[in-house]
């Protein structure tokens, strides 16, 4: 298993998130890889994490989910992977005392590269499906909690997230629910004090 640190849209190293690349064993029968190992994961991130919930979603082409986060004391860390299709996965640093506050990072996750994305507490997270059907599975270290869940507007002009929202024929339609479409921008979240 290899892992890589990430740099924000401004080129700054973001403390905490990691890209994890599993060791894949290929032969004439197919492939095998270890998708989860508690001991190795805790060693890589230098802390003890206990995952309590697994989530699995299926999204059509153009479905955008996020940007989601949970307030303390229910903040979630997530270990994300795409097991079918392809997504563009994004995090935004919303840790008010972070050097990279308000900066973002995005990566393509798909069934071919089998990469996993560790997103610790303190980040808003979302993704867009780039295929007709994309399945995303992720572990969380805190249960979903309706009273603590929040959203950050995916198209906030200040964030300038470079979402890949074009296909070969031009732009494709974004499919998004009302809650995410009407989410507050970062400056509104700052004013409300709902940061991590």
Q: Examine the residue annotation and report whether 68 is marked as an active-site residue of this protein.
A: yes
Cα dihedral 146, 195, 158, 164, rounded to 10, equals -40
Q: Examine the residue annotation and report whether 125 is marked as an active-site residue of this protein.
A: no
- Rounded to whole angstroms, the Cα distance separating 148 from 113 reads 33
- Rounded to whole angstroms, the Cα distance separating 150 from 189 reads 10
Give the CA angle between residues 90, 95, 97 to the nearest 5°.
Answer: 145
Given 68, 69, 105, 125, the catalytic residue: 68
- Rounded to whole angstroms, the Cα distance separating 69 from 153 reads 12
Helix (H, G, I), strand (E, B) or coil at 138: strand
Q: Where are the alpha helices (DSSP H) in the chain?
A: 38-45, 178-181, 186-192
Given 31, 69, 138, 143, the catalytic residue: 138
The residues that are catalytic are 68, 138
């Amino acid at each position: 298993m290899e892992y890589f640190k990430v740099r924000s849209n401004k080129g700054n190293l973001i403390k905490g998130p990691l890209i994890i690349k599993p060791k894949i064993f290929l032969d004439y029968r197919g492939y095998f890889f270890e998708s989860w190992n508690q001991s190795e994961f805790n060693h890589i991130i230098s802390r003890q994490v206990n995952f309590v919930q697994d989530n699995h979603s299926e999204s059509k082409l153009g479905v955008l989910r996020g940007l989601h986060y949970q307030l303390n004391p229910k903040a979630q860390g997530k270990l994300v992977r795409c097991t079918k299709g392809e997504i563009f996965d994004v995090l935004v640093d919303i840790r008010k005392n972070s050097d990279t506050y308000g900066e973002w990072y995005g990566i393509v996750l798909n069934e071919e590269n089998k990469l996993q994305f560790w997103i610790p507490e303190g980040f808003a997270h979302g993704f867009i499906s780039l295929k007709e059907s994309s399945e995303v599975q992720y572990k969380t270290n805190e249960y979903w909690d309706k009273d603590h869940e929040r959203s950050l507007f995916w198209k906030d002009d200040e964030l300038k997230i470079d979402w890949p929202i074009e296909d070969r024929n031009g732009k494709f339609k974004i499919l998004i629910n009302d809650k995410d479409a009407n989410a507050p921008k970062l400056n509104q979240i700052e004013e409300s004090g709902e940061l991590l």
